[in-house]
A and B are shown apart, each in its own frame.
Chain A
Amino acid sequence: MTKRIAFLFPGQGSQAVGMGKDLYDNFGSVKSVFNTADSVLGKSITTLCFEGPEDALKQTVNTQPCIVTMSIAALEALKSQLDIKPDFVAGHSLGEYCAMYSAGVMSLETALIAIQKRADLMGATHGGAMSAILNAPEGALEEALKEASQVGYVDVANYNSPAQVVITGDEAAVAKAGELLLAKGARRVVSLAVSGAFHSKFMENAGHEFESFVSELELNDAQIPVVTNVDANPTTAVADFRAKMPKQIYSSVHWTQTIQKMASEGVEIFVEIGPGKVLAGLNKKIAPEAKVFNIYDKASLDATVQSLKEELVCV
């Protein structure tokens, strides 16, 4: 019996100027993905990824299509080196579009158009704030959010790991929750530089507008189960994707639960495909017994391919 494996795709926060350049210089399949992105989106994703400037790359309208392009390019590089089909795929927030592409739900062109539309809608929605909360004691989060709700709206945007949660909502309420959490023993509270309060009710209008856009997209049933952010459930039916894509914009990302679900289904190997190693770091806190490999440049691809060959032989 071979070991079960899952592909993971990172979300916003993983971007860095220079991402994908090394893969682009070494793989024709990667060049093709970047060229398609430039052509479909009518702007130089290649330049934004490789040269920045960082201020432009950090803008939501650019960050999302850039990360999706780089992650899909890295996936294609992997596929050119190894014939492998994962048991599950999942992506963190915008990374879910890479997961859906990987599962055959949408073509590259559709993934690019969809993520650009999502980025435009989210980037245009201003107001609110987000903060990362590190190492909050058990129970402190619920108490703090309840208390801070007296100041304004605040909710959980991302359940990233048992040691990291991102909160979202009214600026004053998010600040109040941060103060309360520090007082209750959280290790750190870090304000995130975002254009708006992602995964909150601030994004409901964007979500509803996205709903009509998604209804026009050409989508297919998934060939590999996609464990979705909104409910951490394996999803394959196209109708479910159409319903969950808009909802994801204004709902909490259940990443901890997503990894736990896959681990409970017997996944022992996770491969993070895309820029950075954020998800690998989170994974160590969620499922420390599982192995995590990364693919973000040629060296990491070579190392991961070698490791996967060794891991996936019949045992």
Chain B
Amino acid sequence: MGFLSINKILGPQENNHTNSTNSVTNQNLNSVFTEGKYNITSKPTNVIDVNNEEDAIKTLLNNQQQNQEKLKLDREFNQLKETLLENSKITKREDPKLGTCYSCRGHETNMRGKQGAIDLAALALRDLVDGKKEYLELSKKNKKDLTDDQLLQMFSYEQTLKSMQLTIDNNGNLVNIENCEYSY
């Protein structure tokens, strides 16, 4: 038998990137760093060639690592979505031209209701969570060493942060601007 299902070793692979209870999909709006990223993790290699044991182990470890990273991002996103969006004040205002509007952390929806406002903001939040690692790596570099595309990526990320009224604190966490200003 030349092939072995990895599931026999690891059990069923978790591939719950799109949470059934959450209406955010992979079709991100204004994607910052995430374009193509999901393709890497959404199709784990389920079969490996046991004739090349070293490669098999590497693949296995790689898949495990990718899954762990993806789960970590999912956890961070779900936690932020709950604390930043669902618990936040969704404002409702009357616009004479548009009718009833809801705005949520800088993102406005027209006639979509509170859930629509949360969903739209969640799309941007997902981008921020997924793109944070790359953004932080880029931000450590000298701007002169960055390509135009990288500068644009950083600008786009920072604009999304700003529009969401979020920032990244000293510990690398996405937080409310109001909640990360300390005086001591």
Contacts and interface: CB of A to CB of B under 8 A. Distances in A.
B169 A92 contact: no
Interface residues of A, number: 32
A14 B183 contact: yes
B183 A198 contact: no
A53 B5 CA distance: 53
Contacts of B170: 190, 192-193
Contacts of B181: 13-14, 276-278, 281
A90 B32 CA distance: 43
B182 A160 contact: yes
B21 interface: no
A80 to B, nearest CB: 27
Contacts of B175: 188
Interface string A144-186: 0000000000000110100010100000000000000000000
Nearest to A284: B178
Contact of B182 (A166, A187, A277): A166
Contact of A12 (B169, B179, B183): B183
B180 interface: yes
A282 interface: yes
Interface string B160-184: 0000000001110001001111111
Nearest to A158: B184
Q: Looking at chain B's contact residues, is the secondary structure mostly helix, strand, loop, or mixed?
A: loop
A115 interface: no
A132 interface: yes
Interface string A8-24: 00111110000000000
Contacts of A198: 184
Contacts of A166: 182-184
B119 to A, nearest CB: 24
A281 B180 CA distance: 10
Contacts of B180: 190
Contacts of B182: 13, 132, 160, 164, 166, 190, 192, 278
Contacts of A269: none
Interface in B131-184: 169-171, 175, 178-184
Nearest to B169: A190
Nearest to A14: B183
Contacts of A37: none
A48 interface: no
B180 to A, nearest CB: 7
Contact of B184 (A13, A134, A187, A188): A13
A52 to B, nearest CB: 12
A194 B171 CA distance: 13
Contacts of A14: 181, 183
B54 to A, nearest CB: 41
Contacts of B178: 281
Given A190-B169, A191-B171, A193-B170, A11 B179 contact: no
A293 to B, nearest CB: 17
Contact of A130 (B169, B179, B184): B184
A93 B184 contact: yes
Contact of B183 (A134, A191, A282): A282
A111 interface: no
Contacts of A132: 182, 184
A99 to B, nearest CB: 14
Given A134-B179, A281-B178, A12 B171 contact: no
Interface of B: 169-171, 175, 178-184
16 contacts: A11-B183, A11-B184, A13-B181, A13-B183, A13-B184, A92-B183, A160-B183, A164-B182, A166-B182, A190-B170, A192-B182, A193-B170, A255-B183, A276-B181, A278-B183, A282-B183
